[in-house]
Amino acid sequence: MADLEDLTARMREFTEAREWGRFHDVKSLTLALTGEVGEVAELVQWLPADAVLEGDLQARFGDELADVLLYLVRLADVAGVNLVAAGLAKLQRNEDRFPISVYRSIAPEHP
């Protein structure tokens, strides 16, 4: 099974087994996503701009990215969004929106 569908199904089972579904409305889960992105930010905020993550810091960073991913798939599931389809569609739109010939090496405003 594809990664995201697998994670979505497992997060749903995890939630239902604990009867946590009543906590998982879109606003509460968006706040949870915000909290996890905040933890990602705290890990890198004082690093040099060209820092390369290694060792324990890289492991902790991966752990926080995992939290973001788990809430993201859960939020998509609750919102009735097909995250794989949405991601692929957005990537295609970005490829069309930022032609290589125009944007090569130019800082995008919102890539």
Chain positions 81 to 100 lying near its own copies, rule: CB under 8 A, are 81-84, 86-91, 94-95, 98, 100
Cα gap 30→45, rounded to integer Å = 22
Residue 54 phi/psi, 5-degree rounding, is -145, 165
Q: Does 12 bind its own copies (CB under 8 A)?
A: no
Q: Does 107 bind its own copies (CB under 8 A)?
A: yes
Residue recorded with tokens 């995992």 = 66
Chain positions 18 to 57 lying near its own copies, rule: CB under 8 A, are 18-20, 23, 25-42, 44-54
Q: Give the residue with the Cβ less far from its own copies, 56 or 80.
A: 80
CB of 21 to its own copies, least distance (A): 10
Positive or negative, the Cα torsion across 96, 74, 30, 72?
A: negative
Q: Does 58 bind its own copies (CB under 8 A)?
A: yes
Contact indicator for 32, 67 with CB cutoff of 8 Å? no
- Number of shown-chain residues binding its own copies (CB under 8 A): 80
Q: Give the residue with the Cβ less far from its own copies, 56 or 75.
A: 75
Chain positions 63 to 82 lying near its own copies, rule: CB under 8 A, are 63, 65-70, 72, 75-76, 79-82
Contact indicator for 60, 110 with CB cutoff of 8 Å? no
Contact indicator for 73, 4 with CB cutoff of 8 Å? yes
